[in-house]
Structure 1
Amino acid sequence: MTDSTTASWGSPFTEEEELYRETVRTFISRELEPRYLEIPARGPERRQLWRKAGEAGILGACIPEEFGGAGASTLCNVILSYELGRSASYGTIGSFVATDLATSMLVQGGSKALLDRWAPKILSGEVVQCLALTEPNAGSDATAIRTTAVREGDEYVINGQKTFITNADMADVIYVVVKTDPTKRGRGMSVLLVESDRPGVTQRPLKTMGFPAGNTGEVYLENVRVPVGNLIGEEGGAFKLLSSSLDADRLQIGGRALAQAELAHQLTVDYVKQRKAFGHTLLEFQNTQFKLAEAKADLEAGRAFFHSAVRKVRAGQCSEADTAMTKLWLTEMSVRVIDNCLQLWGGAGFMDEMPISRIYTSNRVLRIYGGTSEILKMLIARSL
């Protein structure tokens, strides 16, 4: 489903951004929604979809014009994420192409040589990217990572493991967050671009609770050598790159949570209008009306909160606490709305064939990645 309410009165998005939204919707409605249940998690067909996304013009929106891109703001990533969440296909195929925050790291810190080499392939969908930060013992506490990169002449030698990474099992370009100076914790972290075909790189898919055709995986790096020129930003500058990327990531996750809740509500309203019990439609029961009314109020408040954050981003006034509050409230709200909606489906809602079922399971991770709800509360409290 691709109809949306974000273009309603008071939308904070520009005309150009709304045109980009329409491009994304068209791609989703043509390429994903008619057959998302048959799309494989990996393989040639998945690769072909990436190329089609490139042909549609929805990849690499933030790449500057001099490198062939549109030079758009990170708000295009937010729009892409929202529209994917507003589609029933998301609960099956996962984030898919809504991972352009990796591109923003290349744009922020990559050299001209790296952008000349990779920008055209990113835009065309020829290459798949991923950002590898999380490790088995380091999630929200990024400074706890153990993956190291030791400089030897004109190369870095990387050793470590990354896990729970979107697109990790099929990525061609991996932005690996490493410790170049383990004695300095956060100030000793750097980002290196690693081509997945380098010796010592092993990629493996992971099976998750949601997203039957999703691409969550892990990466092993054993004595992987990359040239010094593959450094993104400055040595020890990972935190600066990650801070802006994580803020944008939290906003786009919040948008996706809002979109999923909106979709669940719309599907449920349609369902209770035709489902009957004891000779009446479910919508005629006061409990149904109250639950859907509560959800509607939550959605309207959530949309206002989301739009407020977008306006702050555009004005350059969106703080870490702002993005933390936005993600916290929207993801917590979405699970409340979706759970109440599924309840109104009864046994049908528990069936995997029903879109509401996969909306429910896929929504759960939104309160975990990009910063757990608990970590976000700490960030907000720190700003008081």
Structure 2
Amino acid sequence: MARMGYGEEHDAFRHTVRSFLDREHEPHLRHYESMGGLDHAFWKKAGAAGLLGLAHTGEGDFTYYAIMAEELGRTAGSATTGSSLMSDVATYILVGHGTEAQKEKYLPGVLTGEWTQAMPLTEPGVGSDATAITATAIRDGDDYVINGEKYFISNGASANLLYVVAKTDPSKGGRGMSVIIVEADTPGVTQAKIPMIGWRQGDTGALNFDNVRVPATNLVGVEGGAMKILMDTFLEDRIQIAARCLGAASKALELTLDYVKQRKVFDQRVIDFQNSQFMLADCRADIRITETLVDTAMIRLRNKEFSFEDGAILKLWATQMEGRVLDRCVQLFGGAGLMDENPIARMWTASRIQRIYAGTDELQKVAIARGLLA
């Protein structure tokens, strides 16, 4: 079925992403597992394939990121290695708010994969309420001195270019938050991987900043401007998460259809039971609805009509949809669906993350309810 809002150039890019993942991601999962995650060579190959820095090379068309997110979700291996390539969405921070000097210094390396990015925001005791962060970046002459901890950071364990969100004026709360670029090899920065039950070979990290001194010219935007930068990126982030959920649900249904057409119970194929057909029909309906929501969101984003409430609705629906579909698929697989070596088991486990990270379901409902109360 033709999708809304995609041109020939988008279809060509989808083919490029699909070919890259089939060649460089899926066949090498055991290697990535042995290394504890994606190696740096993967990023350089992604850069050579033209998959990085799309905020710059794609002329700002976020549709390219949505396509990449959906195709990444459509790989069984993404349940093991995590969101990976989607950390490149951080390029929007650099392109949209960085100085010309910052772009000149970092963009070339972002495009080639030399620089891999992360945005340390969440802290051990601070999740949904970003304004409650305690990390500080205090001006000292021509430098900022950064102190604090960050936790649950996507791509945080190995990224070498960090957009750190810290308070430059703690007395102002959210209005005193700023974004500062920190190169990960700066003295005082430590990174560690957080073991997760989903995305086990992903790159979720914990970071510590101990008197980390960086030039004041590393400030992105203006002092106190972090919330504006975050709000600008949240809209796009909601869409790429929804697209990844869509891809994962589609892949899960594909794997399940293959299985139930072969598996027999009481001398009958599992797919021949009406109950199985009803469950599969529910999956198909959920996926088709989500396709429409994602595609409509992309059109509305291009037209600058996509609101924060729209993003909350989209993330809430898509993440819950992925959970429903994966749960049905595991049920149809039966005991085989709980075997770790079975991709569907890892996809099912990984789907649970989506309803928590980057804003919990409850936080999305708060945003939606505010619209109702306005």
TM-score of the aligned structures, taking structure 2 as reference length: 0.97
How far residue 45 of structure 1 moved from its aligned partner, in angstroms, is: 6.8
State the Cα deviation string for residues 175-230 of structure 1 (Å, max 9, x = none). Answer: 10000111111111000000111111011111001122111111100000010110
Contact 2:120 2:165 in 1 (8 A): yes
State the Cα deviation string for residues 129-170 of structure 1 (Å, max 9, x = none). Answer: 101000011111000000001001110000000010111111
State the Cα deviation string for residues 281-338 of structure 1 (Å, max 9, x = none). Answer: 0011111111111111111111111111111111110000001101101111110111
* Aligned counterpart, 1:247: 235
State the Cα deviation string for residues 235-280 of structure 1 (Å, max 9, x = none). Answer: 1000110001111111111111111111111111111000001111
* Aligned counterpart, 1:79: 67
Which residues of 2 match residues 272-291 of structure 1 at below 5 A?
Answer: 272-291=260-279
Which residues of 2 match residues 189-208 of structure 1 at below 5 A?
Answer: 189-208=177-196
* Aligned counterpart, 1:138: 126
Which residues of 2 match residues 336-375 of structure 1 at below 5 A?
Answer: 336-375=324-363
Q: Distance in 1 between matches of 2:34 and 2:151?
A: 17
Contact 1:40 1:46 in 2 (8 A): no
1:278 partner amino acid:
F
Q: Distance in 2 between matches of 1:74 and 1:11?
A: 15
RMSD: 1.4
2:338 partner amino acid:
F
1:27 is the counterpart of 2:27: no
Q: Distance in 2 between matches of 1:273 and 1:228?
A: 62
| 1:155 to 1:91, Cα distance in 2 relative to 1, 3 A | same
1:168 is the counterpart of 2:168: no
Contact 1:135 1:163 in 2 (8 A): yes
1:228 is the counterpart of 2:211: no
How far residue 41 of structure 1 moved from its aligned partner, in angstroms, is: 7.0
Contact 1:41 1:214 in 2 (8 A): no
* Aligned counterpart, 1:186: 174
How far residue 233 of structure 1 moved from its aligned partner, in angstroms, is: 0.7
Q: Distance in 2 between matches of 1:311 and 1:261?
A: 22
1:31 partner amino acid:
E
* Aligned counterpart, 1:54: 47
Q: Tell me, what secondary structure is at the counterpart of 2:192? A: strand
TM-score of the aligned structures, taking structure 1 as reference length: 0.94
How far residue 35 of structure 1 moved from its aligned partner, in angstroms, is: 2.3
* Aligned counterpart, 2:5: 12
Deviation beyond 6 Å, 4+ runs, structure 1: none
* Aligned counterpart, 2:366: 378
% identity of equivalent residues = 47
* Equivalent pairs, count: 372
1:279 partner amino acid:
D
How far residue 13 of structure 1 moved from its aligned partner, in angstroms, is: 2.1
Q: Tell me, what secondary structure is at the counterpart of 2:54? A: coil
How far residue 37 of structure 1 moved from its aligned partner, in angstroms, is: 2.9
How far residue 43 of structure 1 moved from its aligned partner, in angstroms, is: 7.7
Q: Distance in 2 between matches of 1:365 and 1:211?
A: 9
Q: Distance in 1 between matches of 2:11 and 2:173?
A: 41
Contact 2:81 2:199 in 1 (8 A): yes
Q: Distance in 1 between matches of 2:44 and 2:33?
A: 15
Q: Tell me, what secondary structure is at the counterpart of 2:108? A: helix
2:40 partner amino acid:
R
Contact 1:349 1:357 in 2 (8 A): yes
Which residues of 2 match residues 139-154 of structure 1 at below 5 A?
Answer: 139-154=127-142
Task: Say which of 174, 177, 182 aligns to 2:165.
Answer: 177
Which residues of 2 match residues 296-307 of structure 1 at below 5 A?
Answer: 296-307=284-295
| 1:43 to 1:356, Cα distance in 2 relative to 1, 3 A | closer
Q: Distance in 2 between matches of 1:352 and 1:109?
A: 43
How far residue 77 of structure 1 moved from its aligned partner, in angstroms, is: 1.8
Q: Tell me, what secondary structure is at the counterpart of 2:40? A: helix
Q: Distance in 2 between matches of 1:44 and 1:302?
A: 30
2:235 partner amino acid:
D
State the Cα deviation string for residues 98-119 of structure 1 (Å, max 9, x = none). Answer: 2112111011111111111111
| 1:127 to 1:42, Cα distance in 2 relative to 1, 3 A | farther
| 1:148 to 1:207, Cα distance in 2 relative to 1, 3 A | same
How far residue 71 of structure 1 moved from its aligned partner, in angstroms, is: 2.4
Q: Distance in 2 between matches of 1:84 and 1:41?
A: 21
Q: Distance in 2 between matches of 1:39 and 1:150?
A: 39
Contact 2:147 2:211 in 1 (8 A): yes
* Aligned counterpart, 2:146: 158
2:196 partner amino acid:
T
